[in-house]
Structure 1
Amino acid sequence: MNYTTQMDAARKGTITKEMEVVAKKENVDVEELRSLIAEGKIVIPANKNHTSLDAEAIGQGLRTKINVNLGISKDCPNIEAELEKVQTAIDMKAEAIMDLSSFGKTEEFRNRLINMSPAMIGTVPMYDAVGFYDKELSDISAKEFLKVVEKHAIDGVDFMTIHAGINRETAEVFKRNKRLTNIVSRGGSLLYAWMELNNKENPFFEYYDEVLDICAEYDVTLSLGDACRPGSINDATDASQIKELMVLGELTKRAWEKNVQVMIEGPGHMALNEIQANMLLEKKLCHGAPFYVLGPIVTDIAPGYDHITSAIGGAIAAANGADFLCYVTPAEHLRLPNLDDMKEGIIASKIAAHAADLATNVKGAKEWDYKMSKARQSLDWNTMFDLAIDSEKARRYRAESTPEHEDTCTMCGKMCSMRNMNKVMEGKNINILREDV
């Protein structure tokens, strides 16, 4: 192998096996794909040690991908339950899984996850640091944080969220510009606390070159975290968020100088009318790097339904330039999601992603909808079920309410528009009140 990362290979004119896999999946020209990877507008998160990976790419002109958050916590440390979620997420064809474990046997869970997953794996090393060293946050040294990053890289993590943008300068902007919900990013809040408690610079910013060296060695894609993402509609597009985004743009260029792949993490909570402008800002300030958004959640009032508020925002975001959607479940803001919550979050996020792909004319997106519409027109129920984004639910709903006539459903019966138009177009009588003869 005469290259260090996918970006390095692309810049040298080399087509990697991962590029070939992605080009086939996306139905795009592999040379065009290589060129966009070289420019940093597409990333292929593919750690050299993740041997079970089935490569996917994120970025310009490609299908919108989704990420599923999983992981053990102090209150819910059951590894087997989380691994059941992992298998379900894989079966539901999620392109990425982030391990957000923060307590207990995090290394065991991470290694089992990486070994079994064809989906790309992400982590937030900051979450793992306290348990890794069994130290209070303030007692962990800057270099010890970097050791956790290195451990995750060795284990095979494909992309890591690193909150390097909340440096001392960003923190001062935050202090001068009061927020309703302060810093809601878990990793961002921990780093801010560490900086305040130790009166020191963010270690991921101070030693950013060392982070880049680790990423380059294992080809870890750097997911530059949004510590100052808005946690409420009130805080969206404020000084803290934009200041951090400007820093992330500078860090992106530094990463590219070392052939490290980069994507940028984004908002957060945000009203509908601000989403388009935020997508434009990210692409401008971060030089076209792929954009990874949490939602955006478009209203603060719907706990228990935030998979819906997120899907609304995600569809608008992806239709206006976002490349990667982090799913949100109905349990957001309330508890660790269970298996059913995860399924609902995945489906909502996949709907948002596909809706955006239709709007941006991603290759092949409209073909799926065309096939579904054709099956509906033909009253071909089994094909409809096979094409449905959630086949099991579609079949169950049909089975729960059986119509008198197989070519109808219990909503319209023989007044079904599809049935009657088919008959009329064939020159037949529709026979609503009597049996066909």
Structure 2
Amino acid sequence: MHMTQIEAAKKGIVTPQMEIVAKKENIDVEVLRERIARGTVVIPANKNHTALSPEGIGEGLKTKINVNLGISGDCHNYEEEFEKVRMSIDFGAEAIMDLSNYGKTHTFRQELIDMSSAMIGTVPMYDAVGYLEKDLKSITAKDFLRVVEAHAKTGVDFVTIHAGINRKTIDTFKQTKRLTNIVSRGGSLLFAWMEMTGNENPFYEYYDELCDILHEYDVTISLGDAMRPGSTHDSTDASQITELIELGILTQRAWDKNVQVMIEGPGHMALNEIKANMEIEKRLCHGAPFYVLGPLVTDIAPGYDHITSAIGGAIAATYGADFLCYVTPAEHLRLPDVNDVKEGIIASKIAAHAADMAKGIPGAREIDDKMSDARRRLDWDEMFSLAIDGKKAREYFESKPPQDRHTCSMCGKMCAMRTTNYILEGKDVSLLSDEK
């Protein structure tokens, strides 16, 4: 009988996936197993995703990043989306979420899972109308579960399920009001369905059945934040916190069903609120791994939201977030192109690595020390090999080549590294003539 990662961990069993993650993280496998058993670490690994290179997310592990992509009604170039997939894997993204909501979603998803060593996530709610070929109001609660099962069978490693937007959460939302209302796509669709049909959220009402489906394939549930703030004005409000309380209760229920859990979080949020939000999530959701979108720390930078997100993501991960969803320069504007995806990945990788250094993750600082040593020695090829984007670094360097190839065109012969190296080596420094 197939066991989920958390089920095996509770029984004291070390799985092959745990062994792989322990080696990647340079952590004792028994420590890892114990954290998985407690739910503070997850290894999203669908039994049908055979191409997967497993990754751990959570307590004491390196901060992971996720890339969003997929086919939409306005942009459905399948080859371009696969180019984004290849780029994401090349740059070391640990997860890819397929948010396709148009056309041959099943075929695209199956090809993605077959080729991807990264974890694959989806939001089945996005696919419901197309998969079922029904309008939103006509879809039944059981229909929604059928879509989740279809994704699970395909090999998806984690699914975002907005189960916390129940009647209680909606009552709070209506009473307290918001500047930007509901900005979660899946959350808004469920809100509309609930209001049009008069029914409870099907993922909340049939949560046990949902967990049974996820358990069968070992799909991790990523409890979605339908009430995430879509503006700094709405952050940490009653709607967000009411939903988070519900997610904490649902976390324990999923663990009781031996289903791994992540919690999704904001959104837009001012800098001074981030630390407290990380602590509240860990407290209310029993230490479950926290997966955050940003947070974006200002609302006025369309075209540069990969930067606003990286600022918030670095702070969030420093104070407890475990998994960062990238944001591209195209956020709030259009579907990102390949270059946007690259910019988003790099910004998110920088944020994750900066946080790992701040948290003291074992080995995180080693590559920075190697880069600094290469800079001291003015070894440009080594610097490029250590850079997150060595190709771009080399292009910048070579676009304005210096006269002295041991320096760069910023300082030339006045390079501080060059000057200090010469003096420590017992050489004279001449700025007006060529040294031998």
Category of TM-score, reference length = shorter chain: over 0.9
Map 1:157-306 to 2 at 5 A.
157-306=156-305
Length-normalised TM-score, structure 1 = 0.99
Residue matched to 2:339: 340
Amino acid in the other structure paired with 1:150: E
Residue matched to 2:151: 152
| Counterparts of 1:360 and 1:215, CA distance in 2 | 32
| Counterparts of 1:38 and 1:332, CA distance in 2 | 37
Residue matched to 2:399: 400
Structure 1 residue 126: deviation in Å? 0.1
1:334 aligned counterpart, secondary structure = coil
| Counterparts of 1:48 and 1:394, CA distance in 2 | 40
Residue matched to 1:379: 378
| Counterparts of 1:408 and 1:133, CA distance in 2 | 62
Amino acid in the other structure paired with 1:133: L
Map 1:6-45 to 2 at 5 A.
6-45=5-44
| Counterparts of 1:70 and 1:12, CA distance in 2 | 37
What residue ranges of structure 2 are gaps of 5+ in the alignment? Answer: none
Listed one character per residue, the Cα deviations across residues 353-372 of structure 1 (whole Å, up to 9, x for unaligned) are 00000000111101010000
| Counterparts of 2:318 and 2:431, CA distance in 1 | 43
Map 1:60-75 to 2 at 5 A.
60-75=59-74
Listed one character per residue, the Cα deviations across residues 16-43 of structure 1 (whole Å, up to 9, x for unaligned) are 0000000000000000000000000000
1:102 aligned counterpart, secondary structure = coil
Residue matched to 2:54: 55
Amino acid in the other structure paired with 2:183: V
Q: Quick check: 1:311–1:351 contact (8 Å CA) kept in 2?
A: yes
| Counterparts of 2:189 and 2:34, CA distance in 1 | 38
| Counterparts of 1:430 and 1:349, CA distance in 2 | 41
| Counterparts of 1:145 and 1:229, CA distance in 2 | 22
Residue matched to 2:325: 326
Residue matched to 1:354: 353
Structure 1 residue 427: deviation in Å? 2.1
Amino acid in the other structure paired with 1:19: M
Amino acid in the other structure paired with 1:408: T
Amino acid in the other structure paired with 2:162: H
Q: Report the number of matched residues.
A: 436
Percentage of identical aligned residues: 69
| Counterparts of 1:436 and 1:53, CA distance in 2 | 54
Listed one character per residue, the Cα deviations across residues 218-268 of structure 1 (whole Å, up to 9, x for unaligned) are 000000000000000100000000000000000000000011000000000
| Counterparts of 2:332 and 2:136, CA distance in 1 | 23
2:365 aligned counterpart, secondary structure = helix
Amino acid in the other structure paired with 1:318: A
Structure 1 residue 3: deviation in Å? 4.9
Amino acid in the other structure paired with 1:244: E
Structure 1 residue 78: deviation in Å? 1.6
Structure 1 residue 55: deviation in Å? 0.3
| Counterparts of 2:423 and 2:238, CA distance in 1 | 62
1:365 aligned counterpart, secondary structure = coil
Structure 1 residue 80: deviation in Å? 1.6
| Counterparts of 2:205 and 2:431, CA distance in 1 | 75
Amino acid in the other structure paired with 1:349: S
| Counterparts of 2:234 and 2:295, CA distance in 1 | 13
The runs of 4+ residues in structure 1 deviating greater than 4 Å are none
Residue matched to 1:46: 45
Listed one character per residue, the Cα deviations across residues 19-72 of structure 1 (whole Å, up to 9, x for unaligned) are 000000000000000000000000000000000000001000000000000100
| Counterparts of 2:409 and 2:416, CA distance in 1 | 13
Map 1:79-158 to 2 at 5 A.
79-158=78-157
| Counterparts of 1:422 and 1:311, CA distance in 2 | 35
| Counterparts of 1:103 and 1:131, CA distance in 2 | 7
| Counterparts of 2:140 and 2:113, CA distance in 1 | 27
| Counterparts of 2:77 and 2:367, CA distance in 1 | 38
| Counterparts of 1:407 and 1:392, CA distance in 2 | 19
Listed one character per residue, the Cα deviations across residues 189-216 of structure 1 (whole Å, up to 9, x for unaligned) are 0000000000110000000001100111
Q: Which moved more, 1:73-82 or 1:292-301?
A: 73-82
Amino acid in the other structure paired with 1:265: E
Q: Quick check: 1:49–1:218 contact (8 Å CA) kept in 2?
A: yes
| Counterparts of 1:80 and 1:380, CA distance in 2 | 38
| Counterparts of 1:302 and 1:105, CA distance in 2 | 34
RMSD over aligned CA atoms reads: 0.7
What residue ranges of structure 1 are gaps of 5+ in the alignment? Answer: none
| Counterparts of 1:333 and 1:304, CA distance in 2 | 8
Structure 1 residue 432: deviation in Å? 1.4
| Counterparts of 2:58 and 2:28, CA distance in 1 | 15
1:369 is the counterpart of 2:395: no
| Counterparts of 1:368 and 1:175, CA distance in 2 | 50
Q: Quick check: 1:3–1:9 contact (8 Å CA) kept in 2?
A: no
